Chain A
Amino acid sequence: MIVNIWRYRAFIVRNAVSDLRYRYAGSALGVVWHVMNPLAQILIYTIVFSQLMTVRVPGLSGTASFALYVCAGLLPWVGFSECVLRGAGAFVENATYLKKLPIPEQVFVAQTAVSATLSLAISMTLLLLVALFTGAPVWPAWVVVPLVLILLQGFGFGLGLFFGTLNAFIRDVGQMLVIGLQFWMWATPIVYVVDILPAPLRHLVRFNPAYPFIDALHRAVLDGQWPDPAHWLTMIAWTLAATAASYWVLLRLRPEIRDVL
């Protein structure tokens, strides 16, 4: 699977870039919107949480930092869920290519994953810049953020490919996924801190596959903590598990995918 993705890397990157470039095609500002949208989001959270709803969060210092906390979890989640959802729709979306060209199936999911990751890179860069300007402390641990994000998107690619394969056969999968991801987001400490959960739930949250990624990001961005080995282990394990499961499903169903598109 990896070999084929590598072989088609130029196709994947080119299509991912043109996907981004032409998303706002026809608008006067064009690609600038890729910056404007996340920037607006970040500014809104910053203003709301630092000026209007001055939330005091135990364990977090300062007023701006809750905005930073929310954004540091929410922006990656948006990128991740875009990666999963668009990946799950990739076969249906690219049916015309799949039915006529001998391109391996996973290439199309990789393409949406790269596109989602590129826009995530833009929004996270903006977040760190805004953090700089608002006077949040800068940590050396920020350098691991890209690595965590790549693992997160790798996990998203695996899930996207898994559900995308199923979605080719049963189109309801894509719709169920939209709802499922909403529940999942609220089950993950993104807009709240884990400490507000009652004790039994606080233990359960460790089994939430998204938690180690989001927690590692929170720690690195806000407190400058390097992810500990347990974090790395669980993140890598989930990514590998999702990719392996998706590959297994793809391998079993591949002969029929192009028949049903």
Chain B
Amino acid sequence: MTDVAIHVQDLSKRFKLYGNPWDRVLEWVSGGRLVRHDDFWALRDVSFTVRRGECLGVIGVNGAGKTTLLKILSGALWPTGGVFRVHGRLASLLELGTGFNPELTGRANVFQSARLLGFSRADVQGRLRAILDFADVGDFIDQPVKRYSSGMFVRLAFALFAHLEPDVYIVDEALAVGDIFFQQKCFRRLRELRRQGCTILLVSHDMEAVTHLCDRAILLSGGKLTAEGDPPSVVHDYFALMGQRFMAGTAETDRAVQLPAGAASPSALDVPEPVRAQLQQPLTSAAHAESGGGAATIVGFAVTDAEGRPSWAVASGGSLRFWYLAEARSAIADLNVGIHFYDRRGILVFAVGTANLGHALPALAPGERLLCTMSVTLELQPGEYTLLPQVGGLTGGSPEPGVLHDRLQGLPPVLVTARPGPVTPFYGLVNLPVQVAWTTEV
């Protein structure tokens, strides 16, 4: 028995894009001499190996090739080049419930789907009890699945999937379904399967899950494998990549700026060289909010860890530094540099500006630039948070920042990971300062 569960060598997948389906016929009849399509490489020379019993995380932005890879591994797409080998039986959550016939009962579907995945009737018979318990659909098991609620449908499909015990599991985003209790049940089951020595390929946008469940991770970007290693470092690369994608504007080179020389900085602000370089990267124009008045614009933006290394992720309770390079278009006396954090439900978790903090930034003449950095301690529950960095101005003596000059939208989220430690430091959205005192003399 080999130690390798999945072996992938130079796997490539090309999609041919035709403007018109008849162009394909022209190619056929010309015997390949005529080329009327554009190539799109969804995967390009991807190689990796998953050992038996290992859990590999596959991450990447949308369109990076994750789903294509999974479909090839599960046999639903043919690769254009390269080879792959899966040792043993494979079950994929991609297929979650797709094999279900709406007219058949839940029970009949369990047997039919299992057979499609290569499991015999006896295999299923022995596990039926566990499957039914997990799915928790009650008497509905003998009803046609078309009468199921979508929740019941997914529960039954996952229950089947989780109890077949193939040699290799492919788990897709589909886990993000069902209520919180069912999700927790799914994760518990995955951990259990891992302990039993199942090989798991986990594809997710949930960096928390990848960091905690996986032994190793790979990062796909534009169809290529760009990073491979321990989950935290690959997750870090993922966020760095998202940052780059946003920053790497190609046009607008005229907006590339020369930073003020270090000596010219008003205060002795120490700007690390990578940050300086990043701030000079032109921003993509789409990132600027249209609602901004434009008296000042953000021409450069960077996120680093407390030491100034580029990073979009931090453990809860740690700090991230947000770097702004702002340019005045007209004379501004009362610049307010601020940031908003939203959680994944879109709730404003925290927002602050230099004016709120009581700082008076220097007045700027037209064309003058200001480099400002804010270090924020993210005492937040683990998760992803989106940012809205902005520059505005005060109006009169109002406590609200009245005028918005510019705001950056569509930034990648920052990731707050769980703080390592034996006890969860707090529950809820944020960690509020708490003081405790006690006595036994009562």
User: Which of the 9-residue segments A10-18, A80-88, A128-136 touches chain B?
Assistant: A10-18
Partner of B101, one of A15, A96, A259: A15
A22 to chain B, nearest CB (A): 5
B161 to chain A, nearest CB (A): 13
Most B Cβ at <10 Å: residue of A11, A15, A96, A102? A102
Partner of A100, one of B78, B95, B104: B95
Most B Cβ at <10 Å: residue of A15, A25, A101? A101
Partner of A258, one of B77, B80, B104: B77
Q: Count residues on chain A whose CB falls below 8 Å from chain B CBs.
A: 25
With A10-B115, A14-B112, A171-B21 known to touch, is A100 a contact of B76 (CB < 8 Å)? yes
Q: Which residues of A contact B21 (CB under 8 A)?
A: 169-172
The binding surface of chain A is classed by DSSP as helix
Q: Which residues of B contact A254 (CB under 8 A)?
A: 78
Q: Which residues of A contact B104 (CB under 8 A)?
A: 18
Whether, in the assembled complex, B98 has its beta carbon less than 8 Å from a beta carbon of chain A, the answer is yes
Partner of B22, one of A15, A101, A103, A170: A170
What CA separation (Å) do A96 and B97 show in the bound complex? 11
Q: Which residues of A contact B75 (CB under 8 A)?
A: 102
Query: Chain A, 49-64, contact with B by CB distance < 8 Å: what is the 0/1 string?
Result: 0000000000000000
What CA separation (Å) do A21 and B22 show in the bound complex? 38
Q: Which residues of B contact A11 (CB under 8 A)?
A: 112, 115-116
Q: Count residues on chain B whose CB falls below 8 Å from chain A CBs.
A: 23
Query: Chain B, 47-89, contact with A by CB distance < 8 Å: what is the 0/1 string?
Result: 0000000000000000000000001001111101000000000
Query: Chain B, 16-27, contact with A by CB distance < 8 Å: what is the 0/1 string?
Result: 100001101100
What CA separation (Å) do A132 and B210 show in the bound complex? 71
Q: Which residues of B contact A100 (CB under 8 A)?
A: 71, 74, 76, 94-95, 98
Known: A10-B115, A101-B95. 16 other contacts (CB 8 A): A11-B116, A15-B101, A22-B103, A99-B71, A100-B94, A100-B95, A101-B116, A102-B75, A103-B116, A169-B21, A170-B21, A255-B80, A256-B78, A258-B76, A258-B78, A259-B16
Q: 6 A–B contact pairs at CB < 8 A?
A: A11-B116, A25-B103, A98-B76, A102-B76, A170-B24, A255-B80
Residues of B within 8 A of A (CB): 15-16, 21-22, 24-25, 71, 74-78, 80, 94-95, 98-99, 101, 103-104, 112, 115-116
